[in-house]
Amino acid sequence: MTLIPLEEDRKTIAARFRKAPMFAFLDEGQIIVQENPHKHSKSPEFFDYFNTLGVDTLYVKALGFKTFLKLHKLGIEVYLIKEAEKYNRITPDGLERITLENADAYCTLGHHNQEQN
């Protein structure tokens, strides 16, 4: 199952993954949009939610490095959406797979690369 974070209009791809108001679940041509019940949850609870649903792919606009590592550990493939603003405009050419090799360059949210003072 593929997950896409959405804004409240249920069509626009959310700028943030964990704090997205809605999620679109795509499974075998069927799309289900529902509220993100864990936008204020702590890490283990948030990620366990996707495990119970069988999410194996995530499409995002932006992501933090630590979040990517948690998703990678769960076996979830992560793709960066390069151009689309609405989820129904996502094309295979508009996606970039994030891997351990390129995650440092693509996962720009968070503080993992900032120097310690």
Count of structural domains within the chain: 1
Residue 117, domain member (yes or no): no
Q: Are 112 and 67 in contact (CB under 8 A)?
A: no
Question: pLDDT at position 38, please?
Answer: 84
Q: pTM score > 0.75 for this model?
A: yes
Give a yes or no: residue 112 inside a domain.
no
Contacts 24+ apart (CB under 8 A), 103-108: 103/65, 103/68, 103/69, 103/72, 104/65, 106/63, 106/80, 107/63, 107/64, 107/65, 107/67, 107/68, 108/62, 108/64
In a domain, 116, yes or no: no
* Residue at 115 is within a domain: no
Mean pLDDT of 71-86: 94
Identify whether 114 is part of a domain: no
In the chain, % of residues over pLDDT 90? 69
CATH of the domain at 102: 3.30.420.130
Q: What pLDDT is stored for residue 115 in this prediction? A: 41
pLDDT digits (tens, 9 = 90+) for 19-67: 899 999 999 889 999 999 888 777 788 888 888 888 999 999 999 999 9
Range(s) of the domain holding residue 81: 2-106
